[in-house]
Amino acid sequence: MSEQNGISYLTPPRPVSEIQREARRSASAQEVAALMFVKMAQEEQLDETTIAEHPDLFVQWDENWRGKAGDIVEDEGQLYRSIHDVKDAGQNRKPSETPSMWTPIGNPLEEFPEWVQPIGAHDAYSKDAKTSHNGKKWVSEVDGNVWEPGVYGWAEYSEPEPQEAPQEAQGGASEEPGE
């Protein structure tokens, strides 16, 4: 405990300017961390699940957006990665309406997202990728899969059968010894 001008402090008194300087430094460190996260995401150094957990770090797409291939934007609650450079208004198209120009970044909570026709190697489905299409769930059997589920390279997914519990655990009658 320290005492100053008859006032007892549990911690030594600090000037307001020092507290403000520490707060600015902390805020700056958070801003730098956010910038580094975005840069790593855009350079594909982070997996989609990690990226999708922090959508608020990415810019909101609008008709004035300009950027490079690989840049990530948020549009209608979904993250998208630009497939090409966008240098002027003529190249800028709404991500949710132009899958030929944007790759959606997966929602980690959606195990079987709706199938979207790939347009090239950049958005082809990898082996073991999961999707839903025409009311069924599918798992890709090949890398670089651009085929529609049900045509080639996909196996229809079926839920595992629940295992039946042993008779005794279900409360069934057990035989008494000597009966």
Cα–Cα distance for residue pair 129/142, rounded to 1 Å = 9
CATH for the stretch 110-161: 2.10.10.20
User: Model confidence over 114-173: pLDDT tens digits?
Assistant: 888 887 777 788 898 888 899 999 999 999 999 999 999 999 998 777 777 666 555 555
Q: Is there a shared CATH topology between the 15-106 domain and the 110-161 domain? A: yes
20-24, 33-37, 72-76, 164-168: range with lowest mean pLDDT = 164-168
User: Domain residue spans in the chain?
Assistant: 15-106, 110-161
CATH class of 15-106: mainly beta
Binned at pLDDT 50, 70 and 90, residue 113 comes out as confident
